[in-house]
Chain A
Amino acid sequence: MAEALGVELVDMKGSGCCGTTYMESIDHKTGLAMAARNICIAEEMGLDIVTLCNGCFEVLTKVNKILKEEKKLRDEVNGVLIELNREFKGTVEVKHFVKMLVEDVGIDKIEGLIKRSFKGLKVAVHPGCHLLRPSDIMEFDDPEVPIFFDSLINVTGAQSVNYPNKLECCAAALLAVREELASKIALEKVATVKKYADIMVTSCPFCYLQYETSQITASESYDVSVIHLPQLLGLALGLNYEELALYENRIDTSKIKEFL
């Protein structure tokens, strides 16, 4: 999908998990250093970071902002990174791919490249938490009435619908703490989406997995197809079903197939 839009993605050699919010919950300094290590790799490459995941977006953006603004913490973290012969300099930006599509590619440009229309398809977007919140850190879209993710749906001809509790968390982060509660929270949203839309579209792979897996493991059947944004957008840009690995989606995608 990136190729179709003229975006070249380059892997970050040696990079790993930023530790997510779990790490900062255990030890704040380790959390900062773990994320900063990844940012340093991008700095050395001279490239901005694009994340596929809302969690990575939140952690890397937060750490990037804190370390750029607070000298004391930056010095502390660089005191750790010096062991790796790395230094946080604060020269790159961190973007979620949705933010990149909106700010760097541009919705107008995407609109001009659309080859397949999804007119008539009702889509419930699940923006997820960290694409928007905390808004003083993420600085992307309105945290209560977001529009950008929805615009990326509407550009395909499909219609992004409003539905109750659209901004509620998928609760995937609770899977390891209380699995039943995590599934309950996810399934309540799935049930709402079923009433308002044909499919659900996610911007974060963890949310995607949560909505798919909670449905598969539930005793009753919901059959709400969960599609990851690059898949829908990719189809609209003319890529085919196989290229976008839609056969890997575990809930029937016939509502999408009708348009192919």
Chain B
Amino acid sequence: MYICIAAFFASLVFSLNAIHLGERDIASYYLRNGARDTGSPNIVNSIVWDFRSYDTLGEETVLFTAALGVFLVAERRSSKRKEGV
């Protein structure tokens, strides 16, 4: 069984190695047209906040949910303690 798993991963590695990616289309597009499309010369920032801005919006929503959960749990515990005392 272990030999089978090892063979599977080895074949996976070799097949990944065999794939020739060639010219990476979307990366070269960002590097060539990023400044013109977004207006910001910082290419990392333009990818994070403009090309992939839905991803970033999801991250902000995760942060918001975390803060809201911590606030609600702490508030509930403190109000319960007030009632108990």
Answer yes or no: are A and B bound together in one complex. Answer: no
Task: List residues of chain A with CB under 8 Å of any chain B CB.
Answer: none
